């Protein structure tokens, strides 16, 4: 006996929802995709730094060659684009931070999400200033 769910004469595949460009229809998803795409910029910069470590291990000539490549106009432009990617990516993490951590209560009141994000920004700014001080750029 044949299975009643099989219909050998039916050729219809049913409704197939169009998927191409689905994210472009809603501004929320456009922002989401841009944020996700910035991770590729973070990856690209990680690769640049990894190449620098490899060149450093290869000796002074390789290191100096890598440094001179970083001074080229193409590299400077690339670094500006990657900096923009890093800033957008970091901003998205600071916005997401309050949504991913447990609720914090101070004095019986819940700390606002905006306050948590601002503390994250302040901590990042303090770390940046500390790096500048350690590097000796603020004399």
* Residues 78-122 pLDDT 10s: 999 999 999 999 999 999 999 999 999 999 999 999 999 999 999
**Could you tell me the residue ranges of all domains in the chain?**
22-88, 101-139
pTM: 0.71
Rounded Cα distance, 132 and 139, in Å? 10
Rounded Cα distance, 86 and 120, in Å? 15
* Residues 40-82 pLDDT 10s: 999 999 999 999 999 999 999 999 999 999 999 999 999 999 9
Rounded Cα distance, 58 and 36, in Å? 34
pLDDT score recorded for residue 2 = 54
Token duo for residue 28: 């929320």
Class of the CATH-defined domain 22-88: mainly alpha
Q: Are 124 and 74 in contact (CB under 8 A)?
A: no
């Amino acid at each position: 006996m044949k299975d009643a769910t099989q219909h050998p004469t039916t050729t219809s595949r049913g409704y197939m929802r169009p998927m191409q460009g689905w994210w472009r229809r809603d501004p929320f998803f456009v922002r989401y995709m841009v944020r996700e795409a910035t991770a590729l910029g973070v990856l690209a910069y990680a690769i640049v730094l990894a190449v620098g470590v490899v060149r450093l291990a290869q000796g002074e000539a390789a290191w100096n060659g890598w440094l001179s490549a970083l001074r080229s106009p193409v590299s400077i432009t690339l670094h500006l684009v990657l900096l923009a990617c890093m800033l957008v990516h970091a901003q998205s993490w600071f916005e997401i931070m309050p949504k991913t951590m447990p609720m914090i209560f101070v004095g019986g009141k819940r700390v606002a999400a905006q306050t948590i994000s601002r503390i994250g920004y302040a901590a990042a700014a303090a770390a940046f200033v500390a790096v500048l001080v350690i590097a000796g750029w603020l004399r």
